[in-house]
Structure 1
Amino acid sequence: MSSLHKSRIADFQDVLKEPTIALEKLRELSFSGIPCEGGLRCLCWKILLNYLPLERSSWTSILAKQRELYSQFLREMIIQPGIAKANMGVSREDVTFEDHPLNPNPDSRWNTYFRDNEVLLQIDKDVRRLYPDISFFQRATEYPCLLILDPQNEFETLRKRVEQTTLKSQTVARNRSGVTNMSSPHKSSAPAPLSEYEVPPSGCEAHWEVVERILFIYAKLNPGIAYVQGMNEIVGPLYYTFATDPDSEWKEHAEADTFFCFTNLMAEIRDNFIKSLDDSQCGITYKMEKVYSTLKDKDMELYLKLQEQNIKPQFFAFRWLMLLLSQEFLLPDVIRIWDSLFADDNRFDFLLLVCCAMLILIREQLLEGDFTTNMRLLQDYPITDVCQILQKAKELQDSK
């Protein structure tokens, strides 16, 4: 480890040990990348995403309260005794009309269960293929949810619910057809049949199952937006970062901590996922156009070239912005980009500048290329040195 890296770690530790965290100093340090040693990134992200307050003395009580609240969500929204009894073959006399699957009341527990299954099928399809280039999400977690897996409980796991249902996943596809493909050429986009995935032994859970549960609880708590394809790509890097924390005490609670950080992050970007807001000032269309207006201001020649070829921002920037670039780069690079995004006070204005920087850094190729060549470049972005991209984005920001 270089002396410079040791010095950076010491700088973070100095800031984080203060009774009240100096947020501006933490942002300044984090913008240039957070060291992964000692769980620094996990802790910094939790502060930058407003999960942990700046007063250190309140961390223990707040974490305990939030983690217990998440356990309560699990008990109330996944474990459903009435349905479980019916599924387990309980006698007819013990099943009330309210518990009956044919109850026509739209507010009945069974009706809710069937609606949940439609959302769950889409989540399941997406999380099983999360970051297929690494094995992490297919491996078993050291900390499975004992509340769900306890053999004393008569309840089915979400994986069991998916395996048992006969609903067609096509009925719940939520991606916006005709705009762009949500998957990058860097990633495998075709989901493999369920049989091709190794199922962890009884009493174990794969990391993708944990992500599935986080997204399911989020969908239940946010019925206005529920689950939209692409949310899995937002929660994936958060969970990976927290679940690989070298501190076992933090790692044990990665699921609950990820849920609340994801919820806070979605509160900032949820409008991107609501189709009815696409053309509003807070929607994704406005933000895509902002990328081009920024490019026009910074590099008129390149802007005119893209306009001349009728290359619309929807063809590439939709995915870049909506998924916070999580599909354009390998996971370690995504995490490094997110260090800078989370550290910036106007983080999503900075994201627009990152997208603009990505265009400018390949300007020579774009200026020389025809429509097909340029579309290929933008759909499969060639530069892998994300520090170069972030440096260019910072230059654009400072020039404003």
Structure 2
Amino acid sequence: MAKPVSLKVSIKLSNQIWEMAYKARLKEFDDVLEKDDIDISALKEISFHGIPDDQGKRALCWRLLLNYLPTERAKWKTDLMDQRSLYKQFIKEMIVIPGERESDGDVTFSDHPLSMNPDSEWQTFFKDNEVLLQIDKDVRRLCPDISFFQQPTEFPCTDIVNSDNVKRLHTRVQRQVLRCANVERKGLGITKIALSIKKANENYAPMAEGAEAHWEVVERILFLYAKLNPGQGYVQGMNEIVGPIYHAFACDPNEEFREFAEADCFFCFTNLMSEIRDFFIKSLDESENGINKMMNRMLAQLKNYDIDIWLRFQQLELRPQYYSFRWLTLLLSQEFPLPDVLRIWDSLFSDRDRFDFLIQVCCAMIIILRNQLIQGDFPSNLKLLQNFPPMDVQVILSKAVELSRQKIF
């Protein structure tokens, strides 16, 4: 009769099997990423099932999946140098206090704080500060359940922290009471709907001279984005989109990539926003990629996947605007802890149909809670959907994959 395997031996064997499988997965990524011309389809296929954090693979894959890095490795060095140099130029040109530019004469002679000239730098400065006030509030409450964004970056922007002529952005606006909140569309942007229970013990205070907190870096990224995209500007909720990208890049084990996390994040965020910008513009709500169309598609697919839940929602008049607006607009970044958000985004960025898979994930979240939702009333169901219960995100993603095989066109 064979001896029973002890628990200690069983755990050791399980760990060895897991380690072998993980090494095989790392090699799978290496085989794709180390080619002279990267097959982006192959990269999407393996990234869809999750990208390892080791050796900065997630950060590198996201740069490729968000169309920042070209597939030809030979072009990386030149392209990165050009883009990072361009971002540095943005900082020099757009984060300037009127009257502090170097000039041969007195700039205030023709331009002063009371000038009504539309070309006045002072007029631009005051308008920028209105946008900056909202950005400053939002970035100070980024991921309040972790302390990362409150910690100092090891690569502060020297053109800002060591300059006597350029003030840091947070000094241009008054700090107000900050509370983390869920979000919903109101007017042209996103606004509070309910206070979140997430709280941070640490303080989102600016660093001492010569240093910067990560939230200060994100503030600069969003401010520059707003300046460069005046037709759209900054909309509340964009902070939740840029946050996970910056976190992935700023935690890259590769020091060179980590040093330029800010510039790389800016361009990846810009590329991502070009794909989901319709979510943030009310006049485009009914467009093909608008948020109303997305919510209607989600509800139509839910009806086909599980008619009982759909009927219950109809009976309760539980409209998708009450819960899925935030899910879709912010790519689920407020529904899960950051590590789970990063994992979900691996799949979203790798989706060949881009954000079609986002709809499947939302449907999976609802179907997983079907028993509670069918039995619940309007208040309890709304609370459940607006505060999705903690669970293994892989369970949700597996269910979403299962649903995607039944995709409805």
Between the aligned partners of 1:20 and 1:222, the Cα distance in structure 2 is 32
Residues 305-351 of structure 1: CA deviation (Å, up to 9, x unaligned): 11111000000000000000000000000000000000111121110
Q: 1:1-400 alignment to 2 at 5 Å?
A: 2-80=19-97, 82-84=98-100, 94-151=106-163, 153-163=164-174, 176-177=185-186, 181=192, 185=196, 187-188=198-199, 197-400=204-407
Q: How far does residue 228 in structure 1 lie from its aligned partner after superposition? A: 0.3
Between the aligned partners of 1:39 and 1:196, the Cα distance in structure 2 is 29
Between the aligned partners of 1:361 and 1:346, the Cα distance in structure 2 is 24
Runs of 4+ in 1 over 4 A off after TM superposition: 178-184
Q: How far does residue 394 in structure 1 lie from its aligned partner after superposition? A: 0.9
**Contact 2:133/2:174, CA 8 A, preserved across alignment:** no
**Contact 1:278/1:285, CA 8 A, preserved across alignment:** yes
Partner of 2:4: none
Bigger shift: residues 101-110 or 134-143: 101-110
Residues 139-188 of structure 1: CA deviation (Å, up to 9, x unaligned): 1100000011224x322110221249xx999xxxx963399846673635
Q: 1:45 corresponds to which letter in structure 2?
A: W
Between the aligned partners of 1:382 and 1:230, the Cα distance in structure 2 is 22
Between the aligned partners of 1:307 and 1:270, the Cα distance in structure 2 is 30
Q: How far does residue 97 in structure 1 lie from its aligned partner after superposition? A: 3.2
Residues 41-99 of structure 1: CA deviation (Å, up to 9, x unaligned): 0000000000011111100000000000000110110034x43369xxx9xx8343333
Q: How far does residue 368 in structure 1 lie from its aligned partner after superposition? A: 1.0
**Contact 1:186/1:328, CA 8 A, preserved across alignment:** no
**Contact 1:31/1:343, CA 8 A, preserved across alignment:** yes
Query: Unaligned stretches of 5+ in structure 1?
Result: none
Partner of 2:9: none
Q: How far does residue 259 in structure 1 lie from its aligned partner after superposition? A: 0.1
Between the aligned partners of 1:269 and 1:113, the Cα distance in structure 2 is 28
**Contact 1:101/1:110, CA 8 A, preserved across alignment:** yes
**Contact 2:184/2:326, CA 8 A, preserved across alignment:** no
Between the aligned partners of 1:2 and 1:181, the Cα distance in structure 2 is 44
Q: 2:43 corresponds to which letter in structure 1?
A: L
Q: 1:58 corresponds to which letter in structure 2?
A: K
Between the aligned partners of 2:364 and 2:211, the Cα distance in structure 1 is 44
Residues 351-392 of structure 1: CA deviation (Å, up to 9, x unaligned): 011101111111111111111111111011114211111111
What's the secondary structure of 2:100's corresponding residue?
A: helix
Between the aligned partners of 1:183 and 1:43, the Cα distance in structure 2 is 36
The CA RMSD measured in Å over matched residues stands at 2.4
Q: 2:42 corresponds to which letter in structure 1?
A: K
Between the aligned partners of 1:246 and 1:183, the Cα distance in structure 2 is 37
Between the aligned partners of 2:288 and 2:113, the Cα distance in structure 1 is 44
Q: 2:266 corresponds to which letter in structure 1?
A: F
Residues 111-150 of structure 1: CA deviation (Å, up to 9, x unaligned): 0000000000000000001111100100110000001122
**Contact 2:87/2:263, CA 8 A, preserved across alignment:** yes
Q: 1:168 to 1:248 in 2, by over 3 A?
A: closer
Between the aligned partners of 1:196 and 1:387, the Cα distance in structure 2 is 33
Q: 1:83 corresponds to which letter in structure 2?
A: G
Q: 1:144 corresponds to which letter in structure 2?
A: P
Using structure 1 for the length normalisation, give the TM-score.
0.91
Q: 1:158 corresponds to which letter in structure 2?
A: L
Partner of 2:7: none
Residues 204-230 of structure 1: CA deviation (Å, up to 9, x unaligned): 000000000000000000001100000
**Contact 2:191/2:236, CA 8 A, preserved across alignment:** no
**Contact 1:234/1:324, CA 8 A, preserved across alignment:** yes
Q: How far does residue 301 in structure 1 lie from its aligned partner after superposition? A: 1.1
Between the aligned partners of 1:175 and 1:376, the Cα distance in structure 2 is 15
Query: Unaligned stretches of 5+ in structure 2?
Result: 1-17
Aligned sequence identity (%): 56
Between the aligned partners of 1:105 and 1:118, the Cα distance in structure 2 is 18
Using structure 2 for the length normalisation, give the TM-score.
0.89
What's the secondary structure of 1:282's corresponding residue?
A: coil
